[in-house]
Amino acid sequence: MDIVKDLGEFNMTANTATVICGVTDFTGGVIAIFAMHTFGRKTMLIIGHAMMGIMELGAGAFFQAALPVPMYICLNGFILSFSLTSGPVTWLYISECTVDTATGLVVLGLYTSCMQQVLSMEFLMGSKNFGLSGTFYLFGFENFLCVIFLILFVKETRGHTDAEKKMLYVSEATQAKYGKQVSSDPAKVVPAEK
């Protein structure tokens, strides 16, 4: 929590602040178990990225205004938003939509590895070039870009059978060729070619 302590007037030890972040993360994960049975995956991802964007913009604004407590609250809000939505839902969504386990693991491994590298490099370079508040603004903006991406390209899995979920991103030509699934309209069955 050196970022927050650098602002001064933050009467909390680094250990206490870290424990609070951990409890926030754990709480979000527990709530996510129930939320994933209630809401659609796409909906949760959209809401999660929107909330993360708002929290990152708030953290940047409060850092810039030298207000450590509201900034810390925004950082915990970000952690909670991630733990409720993008953290677990990304894993679940990929496993639901990939045809086999190996493909899902490769996609997920590539996604997490790339995101780790991008975020680490971006934070290091961004904090030097834009300052910490600018880096938070950048992360907030990127989350809103994710919301647009999710709205345009990610398909909802709620209401589909497991077999239908596996074929959401398979082209209709491939579906027609193998005859194993439905088209993009779940009510329309694609017959197999003889």
Burial class of residue 107, CB neighbours in 10 A (0-12, 13-18, 19+): middle
Q: Where in the chain is the domain with CATH 1.20.1250.20?
A: 2-157
pLDDT of residue 77: 93
pLDDT in tens, the chain (194 residues): 455 555 556 677 778 888 888 899 899 888 888 888 888 888 888 999 999 999 999 999 998 888 888 988 999 999 999 888 888 887 777 777 776 655 666 666 666 666 666 666 666 666 667 777 888 888 888 889 888 988 888 888 888 887 777 777 777 776 677 655 444 444 554 444 44
CA distance 124 to 135: 9
pLDDT of residue 29: 86
pLDDT of residue 51: 94
Q: Could you tell me the pTM of the whole model?
A: 0.73
Residue environment code for 154-179, b if the CB has 16+ CB neighbours within 10 A, otherwise e: beebeebeeeebbbbebeeeebeeee
Asked: is 2-157 a CATH 1.10.10.10 domain? The reply is no
